[in-house]
Chain A
């Protein structure tokens, strides 16, 4: 590291930064005022479309910035994501908790000949994920600040486009629109893993792409079939249609393949450890935080409400697959030697909890599943961010190279401990709320599934605490000392990344009502919907 050059450039950077900072504050305050304006009259302003368009505009802006002005590129990306986040807040602030109807509706004819519409809307099931996604995108941009050193411009463009596609999936109310966003997200994600990833990035990127793409093709067949059968692509109409039993089974399977790969459920999970491990930190966070939630979301939007009879028929199988994922993922975590791979496999286990809750098919199960999806986004996202932060200092992901980090980085260790505890599901953290609800739901549905799922309490504690011990406790290894001395503990940027997530962990842990309240009616309506349609087909 050439210190002199760094020093001579420092004051210039400082000046630039302060300029940007003032600009930033200006924009932020403007946004806050605007945001307040929206929820006085939310219909007149196309909030959801602007959420979709804004990152695209941002990436267009980035295209026109000279690639040498790295700070400017980063700042622009950061600002766009900040504005996006503030814009997404009305989704919570002016959300009507008393209805299960779609809110913030927008509808335009898109392909008039076939009646395909550009139709957006959110309800209690999707709204939290849009906000979460906006938050995580900010953090992803921040964590990439020093980590990404090549093709910086393209990287931030990719991040912003991914964001657009992801929130598009959560908003779409038209099957074709849904499919387009679903697939659109693959392209930038493929690039993020393949271009900025680790040593085995090409293999992982191709694997990730083909795996999910093949799954999605089944969904495409399902969507086209539904369209031909009913003549509409409106998801709300499709939901109220009644399909013959045999057709339900086949359609369920078609959608199931696409969503199961995405979740990922056992045994189609093997793309996940490779992709998570090789992706750059931001990529891992997006993958774990939002992308894999789309699978579970798909179950709730398509499989459950549209094919209730098939859902009941497949319920035992789904529960078994979920429990296998929970235990299998946890056991594999015990023997991982790579930090990121361990956390990736823990995702398999945690997402097993999500599907266990969803297919328990009762209020607590589904609500717990939703909360667990948010939790997993926060906690696993945070753990990947933590790994990214230390990887940047040490350039190793091998657990064996670490040891005694707590002595040299006490603040970092405290944050990591908090996220570890949340991952274990300690009461008082968000993890407990999700796991408790899910286990109760599963227990109510099928006692043995609840019991088997609960074994993850033990194995989960074992692998996470063992990981923590090997990385943070005992004597400080020379390797760690050498590499961390120069950087020291967390800097301000890194604190800014971790603090919001830490607050969320505690917040949901002690007052989950904020989130449970939003979902409540939507989940109840979903179950009522399923129960009324149940058996009609026969």
Chain B
């Protein structure tokens, strides 16, 4: 049986090719079937695989040797253990629902078949990423999902902003991948293997080894771990490479739900968890991971508080939640990180799909302050959004509460001295999260409709193809937390260490419940009770507001720091001065010099006997002079 699990990624690949080549000739129903059937099949086969894993088996299989060059050997293969099993379920299930949803959302788009082809290619790549049994295959999937993300962000390529956003996403990711690739190379140079099994076995040998970099001795494992983490920073949109994710919202909303919330962006977390034996050996690397996560999480939440664009708020929320997951991984609580990844996939996908449903009704309008009172017109969307919001805010009993609480607890109880700092940051973030999520809910769904009459008449609940996935995801958001992933993947990632007795968990839990409820309460107070209060705060704290509204000026900063200087440098120093000036100057100068030399020498050939005679006499004189003077 284990031979056939390569079918899991192969089905979507087949769907991709069929839709890409023949999609344009097919009817919509056929395109749907070709797009959805492979995902459903993958889901079923994944369930079989998970069943085997549940019975205690770990499946590893090499398909064929991909690259072979002396000691460098890379294969295509797969490894299905508990960690992969969780990811398989998340990826196939969420994509299945998003595919269904898309049939309604993308209805009538001229690029319908193209959209589904890309989506299937994405599922293929993501499955390759999570199923691979070596780091190069991880890198393969890593880049391939980035490519699909590029295609789908720029799906409406006629829009300038969309194609810009796609390009930005790709290039920013490439910056992270630069580090990732170097990490892979460094790992291989030292271990002579890239298979997970071999790496985990041999990684202990690297301990206490040092590497000289720019006359500076650094711990080898730390360098490898941080280089690999660079890739995660790019892919999972952490500080300072987070700038691409909010722009990625230019893509169709189901894409944002699937790729930019539930699956692709969590690849970084998956990678850290997958390579946990490596990270656990380096305290410095773990600290970097934890602080990157915590700071990103806090910063993104603060931006989310002031934005007006519904998708961007949710995008910043995604960045913030991803930060949570890294925070957990950085505390060596990989299980909690993956648990949050798993619950987050459902409730964040739900949030995005609800936003898509709202956009569908609002004719593409994104500003929440132009909405209002939508609950009357869209009851199902309202209900599901409410569930998602309660989940992300961490209200007890829903899935988000369990996973978030675990992370907060591990931060609070961490044996590391900086654990409490992280816990405080994370708790503030939890407050902000509850606040901005309910800000959307109260502004967009409550009160009176603020748009024009024409739009108001247009308001309607979305078709069943969209509402059914919403309801299913809502159910999953509620129930997912009762399956403890942390416990399930313990054999792979180990148990997190806590320095405090378990009784203290009650205290952390109480605080987190209080914080989330007060966040919701504050949102209710500001946006329902005292609608003018928000403006008052805004004008009181002008400066902070402007900084937050402009997202801490990251884009502008990068533009002035990196993009413009590079272009300027290339244009003047490299092209004008070096290439055209110096090198071409010499190349064209030598022939010119020959020409000038020849031309001036020509003047000596006057054709007059007298001239030649005089020159001869002068020459003879000089020779005689030299001879006699010596």
* A interface residue numbers (CB < 8 A to B): 207, 210-211, 267, 270-271, 328, 331-332, 334-335, 363-364, 367-368, 404, 406-407, 421, 426-428, 432-433, 436-437, 439-440, 443-444, 447, 450-451, 454-455, 457-458, 461-462, 465-466, 469, 472-476, 510-513, 516, 520, 524
Contact = CB atoms under 8 A, between A and B. Distances in A.
Contacts of A510: 66
Interface of B: 64-70, 72, 136, 139-140, 143-144, 147, 150, 154, 157-160, 163-164, 167, 170-171, 174-175, 177-178, 181-182, 185-186, 188-189, 213, 566-567, 569-571, 574-575, 578-579, 583-584, 587, 591
A432 B137 CA distance: 12
18 contacts: A270-B583, A332-B570, A368-B69, A426-B147, A427-B139, A432-B143, A436-B67, A437-B72, A439-B181, A450-B182, A458-B175, A461-B174, A462-B171, A465-B167, A472-B157, A474-B158, A516-B67, A524-B70
Contact of A473 (B147, B158, B569, B584): B158
A516 B64 CA distance: 15
State the main secondary structure of chain B at its contact with A. Answer: helix
Given A332-B575, A473-B158, A454 B181 contact: yes
Contacts of A432: 143
A360 to B, nearest CB: 12
Contact of A270 (B69, B72, B574, B579): B579
B158 A444 contact: no
A474 B163 CA distance: 7
Given A443-B185, A457-B174, A473-B163, A407 B570 contact: no
A516 B68 contact: yes
Given A364-B70, A465-B167, A335 B567 contact: yes
Contacts of B178: 454-455, 457-458
Given A334-B567, A473-B163, A512 B67 contact: yes
A313 B65 CA distance: 36
Contact of A474 (B143, B160, B578, B584): B160
A225 to B, nearest CB: 25
B144 A433 contact: no
- A-B residue pairs, 9 tightest by C-beta: A473-B163, A427-B140, A331-B570, A473-B157, A363-B70, A335-B571, A443-B185, A461-B174, A334-B570
Given A469-B164, A474-B159, 6 more contacts: A335-B570, A428-B140, A428-B144, A437-B72, A465-B167, A512-B66
Nearest to B168: A465
A171 B213 CA distance: 44
Nearest to A466: B167
Contacts of B154: 473
B577 to A, nearest CB: 12
Listed residue (A332, A427, A472) with the most chain B CB atoms within 10 angstroms of its CB = A427
Contacts of B69: 363-364, 367-368, 437, 516, 520
B181 A457 contact: yes
B55 to A, nearest CB: 33
B188 A440 contact: yes
B182 A364 contact: no
A27 B157 CA distance: 47
A211 B588 CA distance: 11
B587 A457 contact: no
A457 B164 CA distance: 19
Given A332-B574, A334-B566, A474-B157, A458 B174 contact: yes
B493 to A, nearest CB: 26
A532 B175 CA distance: 41
Contacts of A404: 158
Given A364-B69, A426-B144, A426-B147, A458 B171 contact: yes
Contacts of B163: 469, 473-474
Contacts of A440: 72, 185, 188-189
Contacts of B583: 267, 270
Nearest to A472: B157
Contacts of B181: 436, 439, 454, 457
Given A444-B189, A457-B177, A473-B157, A328 B574 contact: yes
B10 to A, nearest CB: 13
A144 B579 CA distance: 32
A53 B8 CA distance: 52
Contacts of B157: 406, 472-474
A466 B579 CA distance: 22
A207 B587 CA distance: 9
A511 B69 CA distance: 13
Contacts of B158: 404, 407, 473-476
A435 to B, nearest CB: 9
